[in-house]
Amino acid sequence: MNLDKKKILKTLNPNKVWLPAAISVGFVVFLILTDDEITAQRLNLIFQADYLPVILAFCMLLIKELAYIYRIRSLTNKDLSWSSSVYVIILWEFASAVTPSVVGGTAVAVFILLKEKINLGKSLAYVMLTAILDNLFFVVVAPIALLIIGFDIFPDFGQTMQGVFITSYSLIAIYTLIMCLALFYRPRLFKWFLIKVTGIKFLRKWRYAAYQHGNEVMWASSLIKGKRLGYWVRIIAATIVAWIARYTILNFLIVAYTDGVSFAEHIVIFGKHLILWIVMLLSPTPGSTGTAEHFFMQSFTGYLGHYTIGAAMLWRVVSYYPYLLVGAIILPRWIRKVFFKKSEESE
């Protein structure tokens, strides 16, 4: 893995918040200018939400972050302190918020763990395992949602969304299957396969990277094997709690704009949000800005009507902008902690 310090610190930069914010605001402005039905009066409907469900949506966000903090501390066998676990999760979320979802923040996450005194092998193992756990949630729950709800889970005019979902889901499923086999079953075979494939003439320029990645997987595999059942129960439970909390944020926000939502409708909303999230993973924009708002309006206008654009804005305010804001505030303090304090101590 290429842990280029300059490149990573360029990602971990408070000024990075402006681009996704500009894209998100620009998308809303574009809608206002191009859709005659969107008026200032309709935009003001955002303030007509019931406050209690909005507060509960923020509570779900907090529960999600607490579950992630607990998971990373459990993953590291408590090698991370609670305060370090908070820093890791906040900065990891910040890095994900300012980079395209399709790029991911793996290198940044490894770098953060390294700076929190987790050695390279363990950092790689923990980040790979975290990715697998998160992806497994999608891979397992998405087909269940489709079986229960059917393809009505996609909007009537959402053929594009359906195609993007199938592509995104297939890529996630294939990647997760390969990584599970590599980490838990045959890491050496995985390395051999990478080296053989990159031996093909037009792939040779990636051969060293493949060799390096094969070594990383073997290293990570040796550190993960032999963990007790309790270890797996804790991190899997934390993963499930985190993702359920993430998706129920939208359930509360839709309740805030409607007279009432039945239990069956809550299940459909949860499933639609799951599908939307998988679609967002292929977005080329930082934090899926623009893409998220567009597909949100396709998916939930049937529930929200004239409140749709206001609810879309509020959804991003609750589920996305806190990472930009808190990350930009915490980041300078963390940089002082891991770089300047060490320099002062060495002097």
Q: Which of 249, 260, 324, 344 is nearest to 95 (CA)?
A: 324
Residue labelled with tokens 């990584």? 179
pLDDT band at 136; cut points 50, 70, 90: very high
CA angle 232, 234, 236 (to 5 degrees): 65
Give the pLDDT of residue 217.
Answer: 84
DSSP structure string for 162-184 = HHHHHHHHHHHHHHHHHHHHHHH
Helix intervals (H) in 46-119: 51-75, 82-97, 106-115
Give the pLDDT of residue 68.
Answer: 96
DSSP structure string for 261-288 = --HHHHHHHHHHHHHHHHHHTT--SBTT
Tally the domains of the chain: 1
In a domain, 346, yes or no: no
45: which strand partners? none
Give the pLDDT of residue 190.
Answer: 85
- Within 10 angstroms of residue 343's Cβ, the number of other Cβ atoms is 8
Instruction: Map residue 100 onto helix, strand or coil.
Output: strand
Q: Which of 43-47, 153-157, 282-286 has the highest mean pLDDT?
A: 282-286
Q: Which of 9-18, 179-188, 204-213 has the highest mean pLDDT?
A: 179-188
Q: Which letter does DSSP use for residue 37 in this model?
A: T
In a domain, 347, yes or no: no
Task: Tell me: pLDDT of 343 over 60.
Answer: no
* Cα 65 to Cα 194: distance, rounded to the nearest angstrom: 35
- Within 10 angstroms of residue 157's Cβ, the number of other Cβ atoms is 9
* Segment 190-247, tens digit of pLDDT: 888 888 888 887 777 878 778 877 888 888 888 888 788 899 999 999 999 999 999 9
Residue labelled with tokens 């959402």? 158
Instruction: Map residue 317 onto helix, strand or coil.
Output: helix
pLDDT above 70 as % of the chain = 89
Give the pLDDT of residue 347.
Answer: 46
The parent domain of residue 194 ranges over 5-341
Give the pLDDT of residue 344.
Answer: 47
Backbone phi, then psi, for 77, in 5-degree steps?
55, 40
In a domain, 240, yes or no: yes
232-247: b or e for each residue (b if 16 or more CB lie within 10 Å)? eeebeebbebbbbbbb
More confident residue, 309 or 246: 246
In a domain, 243, yes or no: yes
Q: Which of 60-69, 161-170, 333-342 has the highest mean pLDDT?
A: 60-69
Q: Which amino acid is at 10?
A: K
Q: What tokens does 280 get?
A: 């967002």
Give the lowest-confidence range in 97-106, 137-146, 247-256, 316-325. Answer: 97-106
Give the pLDDT of residue 30.
Answer: 81
Whole-prediction pTM value?
0.87
More confident residue, 98 or 106: 98
pLDDT band at 103; cut points 50, 70, 90: low
